[in-house]
Amino acid sequence: MTTTQPQRAGFSVHRLSRVDNLLQRYVEGGYLAGAIGLIYRKGQVAYKNAFGHRDLEADLPMTEDTIFRIYSMTKPITSVAVLMLFEDGHFLLDDPIESYLPEFAGVQVCAGDLANLVPPIRPPSIKDLLMHTAGLSYGWGDDSPVEKLYGQTLGNIELLSLETFVRKLAPLPLLYHPGTRWRYSRATDVLGRLIEVISGKTLAEFFQKEIFGPLAMTDTGFHVPAESVDRFAACYSPPGGFNFGSDLANRANRRPGHRDAHQEPAAGSISLYDAPAKSRFTRPPTFLSGGGGLVSTLDDYLRFSQMLLNEGVLDGTRLLGPKTVQLMRANHLPPDLVPIEIGDGPRAGHGFGLGMSALVDPHAFGFPGSVGNYGWGGLATTRFWIDPLEEMAALLMTQFIPSDYYSIEREFTLAVYQALVD
């Protein structure tokens, strides 16, 4: 999609240069290998620009068709798939998970220690999975004895099918009673298995037939095919690397609001985390992670974002009804569970909808935005959000783990909104 004149989309050309300056500063300072940003408003691409390299070692530039690991930006796609099946009448959102995944029958809640398990106040529901209020976790924390069971029970999750994953996960105690807390979790991976059971297709097949094909998302999938590996970005980390298990645990165990004193490495000192040619993303996976398994491009994810911004339709292809999209993007958390908290502490002003965060208080957030903004990000510093009020979507793509190491995502938010003048 070509870029229009920014003024026609309500942006100041002069102020948009601050988006350039932001991304250039991170790249030229050696904090990121490369980055690309996009702003779409009122049917037009107002801004799209790439900086730096997709692969420093190979001296390959960042380009518009670069393929990225989008990690948890997979979750909104899985959530859309679930809501498509919901619209088709296969289940109600309040239905218990066990009605479709009987492995969850008889689940118990850990009440302090593993010797004290009690029945849940109600069974976890499909809506709980969409909202991360089911009582599940990722196994990263240390505030419950159940957390250690995740690692001990699941082992190397990449070796599991979704069927085996659910069979191993379901008997574990819940960390809390469903609906009483928000906790980022494996819930969306469970939803991936729910899609398989109801549709009779693998998650990869369902995505391709029902979402990627209809939306012409030609570079999105669970792996990068051999003919496209040259467009696949390298992924980087802070000096000394990043340990997926222990470093994620450290993030989960931070006290609320805590940030490390030294957030920036010395210029040019980032480390290669995942080389394209050797990446696990170049092979079809056994574990089809609905929570974090996809790769995609800027333009592909824009098409997904456009479909949501258009309330379920793109180029005459409708995936969801308008009222379902409105239900999806609304905050469903009660006031006592807002704001959500993940990784680097509370996400001020944010609640959660059916698969994505929802901005309920821009003043608490401390950045420009509109009530009703929704979106999500990925571990390798990819981010998208949609502003229905402004008829706008914005995307930031780079490849640096972990996503909360820098403040670039929030700085990008500020840079986008300060350039909006009409």
What is the rounded CA–CA span in Å between residue 381 and residue 401?
7
Residues 151 and 270 in one domain: no
User: With contact defined as beta carbons under 8 Å apart, do 380 and 364 qualify?
Assistant: no
Angle at 394 between CA 134 and CA 404, to 5 degrees: 55
* Sequence-distant (≥ 6) Cβ neighbours of residue 289 within 8 angstroms: 74, 189, 192, 222
The predicted model gives 91-106 an average pLDDT of 98
Residues 304 and 352 in one domain: yes
Range of the domain at 121: 93-200
Nearest to 395 by CA among 13, 23, 26: 23
| pLDDT tens figures, 181-193 | 999 999 999 999 9
Q: Torsion angle, CA of 135/136/138/141, rounded to 10 degrees?
A: 30
Residues 290 and 372 in one domain: yes
pLDDT at position 269:
80
Nearest to 70 by CA among 169, 206, 207: 207
Does 402 sit behind a cis peptide bond, omega within 30 degrees of 0 on the bond before it? yes
**Residue after which a domain boundary falls, among 200, 225, 244:** 200
Q: Torsion angle, CA of 74/75/78/79, rounded to 10 degrees?
A: -150
Residues 160 and 304 in one domain: no
Q: How confident is the model at residue 255 (pLDDT cuts 50, 70, 90)?
A: very low
Within a domain: 104: yes
Residues 105 and 49 in one domain: no
**Residue after which a domain boundary falls, among 171, 200, 229:** 200
| For the chain, percent of residues with pLDDT exceeding 70 | 92
Residues 189 and 215 in one domain: no
| pLDDT tens figures, 345-379 | 789 999 999 999 999 999 999 999 999 999 999 99
Beta pairing partners, 35: 51
What is the rounded CA–CA span in Å between residue 267 and residue 313?
44
**Residue after which a domain boundary falls, among 177, 200, 223:** 200
Task: Report the domain count for the chain.
Answer: 2
Within a domain: 40: yes
pTM tops 0.85, yes or no: yes
Give the domain CATH number at 122. 1.20.58.710
Nearest to 307 by CA among 19, 48, 83: 83
pLDDT higher than threshold 70 for residue 270: yes
Within a domain: 86: no
Residues 231 and 325 in one domain: yes
Q: Which helix (H) or strand (E) holds 357?
A: strand 357-359
Neighbours of 272 (CB within 10 A): 14
Give the domain CATH number at 365. 3.40.710.10
Angle at 332 between CA 88 and CA 415, to 5 degrees: 105
Q: Which helix (H) or strand (E) holds 40?
A: strand 34-41
Token code pair at residue 326 = 């409105």
| pLDDT tens figures, 110-163 | 998 999 999 999 999 999 999 999 999 999 888 899 999 999 999 999 999 999
Measured CA distances, 247 to 243, 292, 367, 401, 403 (Å) = 5, 17, 28, 10, 12
